[in-house]
Copies of this chain bind each other. A is one copy, B any other.
């Protein structure tokens, strides 16, 4: 059996997220069907994380096991001809048997886009959150910086699958403006359910003066969800970068 890692990208708009579920088309299920057809046996894929309905991935890693003798270099093209246009396999590589797309992942970066202009932009529909009132990116960046560090993020988590601990280490969290586009980038060792979209909503609240950036440490320490901002819509969210343990050799296919 070979363990194969795939580097993908997908536009999440048409999918009910990554994870296979009943009565809804998901990215994992669509990918499993394509892989199964190529390797000629049923396949289950492990993904690097559960993205929600409508969330995109500029980069995504999944792995699966197969005894198929298909040359690995041919896999991307073979899969892409079977996949819809909004899911693309960029690369494939054999990885050590113990590699696991989620378990071996040490850091992830998500990007949240806000299109901040008086009038919405037709080209950003489902790809950025439209906010018509001018937002001060310096205030947002000051708020964002206070999310970094090892902290309890229960206040910016939605109810969902119970987790052992709500403490995570955020390596960086920053906001930049380029014209009408605000980009929030947040990198952590792991994320709680809706953590990025709620952090983005809280940082937005700081720009709207509904809270002060300086309130954020107490807000997080308090662990009270109702003190934080709203969960922003999924269309603005992108999984944008991944880091794996060195020994599993995925740096090559990730280009980090």
Q: Chain A: residues with CB nearer than 8 A to chain B?
A: 9-11, 56, 58, 76, 80, 85-91, 119-123, 125, 127
Contact = CB atoms under 8 A, between A and B. Distances in A.
B123 A11 contact: yes
A102 B88 CA distance: 40
A140 B37 CA distance: 40
A122 B91 CA distance: 14
Q: Which 9 A-B pairs have the closest CB atoms?
A: A85-B125, A88-B122, A90-B119, A11-B122, A86-B122, A9-B122, A10-B122, A88-B120, A11-B123
Contacts of A90: 119
Please tell me how many copies of the chain the complex holds: 2
Given A86-B125, A125-B85, A125-B86, A119 B80 contact: yes
B121 A9 contact: yes
Nearest to A7: B119
A56 B121 CA distance: 13
Contact of A85 (B10, B80, B85, B122): B122
A11 B85 contact: no
Contacts of A88: 119-122
A123 B89 CA distance: 13
Nearest to A76: B119
B87 A122 contact: yes
A97 to B, nearest CB: 27
Nearest to A126: B85
Nearest to A127: B123
8 contacts: A9-B121, A9-B122, A9-B123, A80-B119, A85-B120, A86-B125, A87-B122, A88-B121
